[in-house]
Amino acid sequence: MHKKSYRNERSRLAILARDLGRFTLSTLRSSDVASYRDQRLEVASGSTVRRDLALLPHLYTIAIKEWGMPVDNPCAKIRKPKLNKDRERRVIDGELADLLEAAGALHVEMPKL
């Protein structure tokens, strides 16, 4: 059994392996990570790139704490991309009734409004 985010993390790891797989933990520099970040931002949102980059520091934490590798975390020395703007959407005519009907079908205890 896998954790809920297994597929997403696997996809992110595949992208990281494709773009940074030629480096080892000891040869990856902050300038390499910054270059990856900048190239990835051309095709993905800031939030997506932040999630991609969040996996790298974890690899370094495991390498340092559990394997005793004397490596520096290059991710600590780069700027993180800005988050996307929050989305704001309001229900338009007819959607509220449809939403309540669908919720009522899923949850019998939902009161009729």
pLDDT at 110: 62
pLDDT at 101: 79
pTM: 0.69
pLDDT at 113: 59
Q: Where are the domains of the chain?
A: 6-84
Q: Which amino acid is at 74?
A: P
pLDDT at 90: 80
pLDDT at 62: 94
pLDDT at 81: 87
Q: Please list, residue by residue across 19-58, b when 16 or more beta carbons sit within 10 angstroms of its beta carbon and e when fewer do.
A: eeeeeebeebeeebbeebbeebeeeeebebbbebbeebee
Measured at the CA of 39, the angle between CA 87 and CA 5, to 5 degrees, comes to 55
- Ranges in the chain, pLDDT < 70: 1-2, 85-87, 108-113
User: What are the C-alpha distances in Å from 70 to residues 22, 59, 77, 97?
Assistant: 20, 13, 17, 60
Q: How far apart are CA 109 and CA 45, in angstroms?
A: 39
Strands (E), the chain: none
pLDDT at 79: 92
